[in-house]
A and B are shown apart, each in its own frame.
Chain A
Amino acid sequence: KQEVTQIPAALSVPEGENLVLNCSFTDSAIYNLQWFRQDPGKGLTSLLLIQSSQREQTSGRLNASLDKSSGRSTLYIAASQPGDSATYLCAAAGGTSYGKLTFGQGTILTVHP
């Protein structure tokens, strides 16, 4: 059974800092790894999807990497801003024919001015 863990559970940084969020998964037989953002009381917004054959994906100030052999993914946020404050969730898509995602518990990020 796939298990996904995110470290740290919470992170507080000053504005402008570069930061890394970590995600680990126990079963390397994944189709892809997805990163989402969730604002309080809201739904999830997709940030990046890395296919199992890829090593990384970039979107603006966000860069996500994937190392299947070690069961790890990282989300790198450059030049953080207060608007980046949210909960960040990673999810591993399992090796089945449907899009089952196994989610981590999330990292609560606070960027203070």
Chain B
Amino acid sequence: DGGITQSPKYLFRKEGQNVTLSCEQNLNHDAMYWYRQDPGQGLRLIYYSQIVNDFQKGDIAEGYSVSREKKESFPLTVTSAQKNPTAFYLCASSRGPKQETQYFGPGTRLLVL
């Protein structure tokens, strides 16, 4: 059963803490993406990766970091530098770096304690 999994479903962050959101796909897709969604707004791109060991900043990368050591995995770390991290985070993948359909995971909701 192919797809994208994200964990955890809910995540709580304390002040000054770094937290990592997991994203795994078994679709054999080269490209992966991280988006942030705030209430009543569309999705905004945080980081994207076209291939293993390569990634680029999106529109709102400040306060976030990523790695792409394996094709299947694209974890996102929300650092303490991100002052307003409360949001719904969505991971997506597509077959290649060209303009193709993106498939989304179920999302992780991050809340600040």
Residues of A with Cβ closer than 8 Å to B? 4, 31-32, 34, 36, 41-46, 49, 51, 89, 91, 93, 97-106
Contacts and interface: CB of A to CB of B under 8 A. Distances in A.
Contacts of A98: 31, 48, 50, 56, 97
Given A34-B102, A89-B43, A43 B33 contact: no
Interface of B: 4, 6, 31, 33, 40-45, 48, 50, 56, 58, 88, 90, 92, 94, 97-107, 109
B40 A99 contact: no
Nearest to A36: B104
Given A89-B43, A98-B50, A42 B107 contact: yes
A44 B42 contact: no
A36 B101 CA distance: 10
Given A34-B101, A46-B102, A49-B101, A104 B42 contact: yes
Given A43-B105, A89-B43, A100 B58 contact: yes
A42 B90 CA distance: 9
A97 B97 contact: yes
A45 B97 CA distance: 19
Given A46-B102, A98-B31, 7 more contacts: A51-B99, A97-B97, A99-B31, A99-B48, A99-B99, A103-B42, A103-B43
